[in-house]
Amino acid sequence: MTITETLLDPYDYDFHEDPYQYYQRLRDEAPLYRNEELGFWALSRHRDVLAGFRNSTTLSNKFGVSLDPASRGPHASKTMSFLAMDDPDHLRLRTLVSKGFTPRRIRELEPRVTEIATRHLDAMLEKARSSQTVDYVDEFAGKLPMDVISELMGVPEADRAQVRAWADAVMHREDGVTDVPASAVEASLNLIVYYQDMVAARRKKLSDDLTSALLEAEIGGDRLTDDEIIGFMFLMVIAGNETTTKLLANAAFWGHRNPDQLTPVYDDLERVPLWVEETLRFDTSSQILARTVSGELTLYDTVIPDGDVLLLLPGSAHRDERVFDNPDDYVIGREIGSKLMSFGSGAHFCLGAHLARMEARVALAELFKRIRGYEVDEANAVRVHSSNVRGFAHLPIHVQIR
Over residues 164-180, the mean pLDDT reads: 73
Q: What is the pLDDT of residue 1?
A: 45
Strand, coil or helix: 66: coil
Distance CA 355, CA 345 (A): 16
Over residues 194-217, the mean pLDDT reads: 97
Distance CA 349, CA 23 (A): 23
| 8 Å CB contact between 324 and 281 | yes
Residue 129 has pLDDT above 60, yes or no: yes
Residue 100 has pLDDT above 50, yes or no: yes
Give the pLDDT band of residue 194 (cuts 50, 70, 90).
very high
Residue 172 has pLDDT above 90, yes or no: no
Exposure letters 256-294 (e unless 16+ CB within 10 A, then b)? bebeebbeebeeeeebbbbbbbbbbbbbbbbbbbbbbbb
- What are the residue ranges spanned by the domains of the chain? 13-401
Give the pLDDT band of residue 9 (cuts 50, 70, 90).
very high
Q: Is 350 left (phi over 0), alpha (psi -120 to 50) or beta?
A: beta
Q: What is the pLDDT of residue 179?
A: 62
In this structure, what DSSP letter does residue 81 have? Answer: G
Distance CA 35, CA 159 (A): 44
Give the pLDDT band of residue 191 (cuts 50, 70, 90).
very high
Q: What is the pLDDT of residue 183?
A: 82
Positions of E strands within 76-182: 134-135
Q: What is the pLDDT of residue 374?
A: 97
Q: What is the pLDDT of residue 184?
A: 82
Q: What is the pLDDT of residue 122?
A: 96
In this structure, what DSSP letter does residue 3 have? Answer: -
Q: What is the pLDDT of residue 328?
A: 98
Over residues 317-340, the mean pLDDT reads: 97
Taking residue 36's Cβ as centre, other Cβ atoms within 10 Å add up to 9
Query: Amino acid identity, residue 76?
Result: A
Give the rounded percent of residues in the chain with a pLDDT score beyond 90: 85
CATH class assigned to 13-401: mainly alpha
Which ranges in 258-396 belong to alpha helices (H)?
259-267, 272-282, 314-317, 353-370
Distance CA 210, CA 109 (A): 11
Q: What is the mean pLDDT of the chain?
A: 94
Considering the entire predicted model, what is its pTM? Answer: 0.95
Q: What is the pLDDT of residue 177?
A: 61
Over residues 45-66, the mean pLDDT reads: 97
Cis bond upstream, residue 88 (ω within 30): yes
Give the rounded percent of residues in the chain with a pLDDT score beyond 70: 97
Distance CA 394, CA 249 (A): 9
Q: What is the pLDDT of residue 171?
A: 72
Positions of E strands within 175-252: 218-219, 222-223
pLDDT in tens, 249-293: 999 999 999 999 999 999 999 999 999 999 999 999 999 999 999
**Closest by alpha carbon to 215, among 147, 148, 159, 154?**
154
3-class SS string, 205-221:
CCCCCHHHHHHHCEECC
Distance CA 170, CA 55 (A): 30
In this structure, what DSSP letter does residue 5 have? Answer: S
Q: What is the pLDDT of residue 181?
A: 74
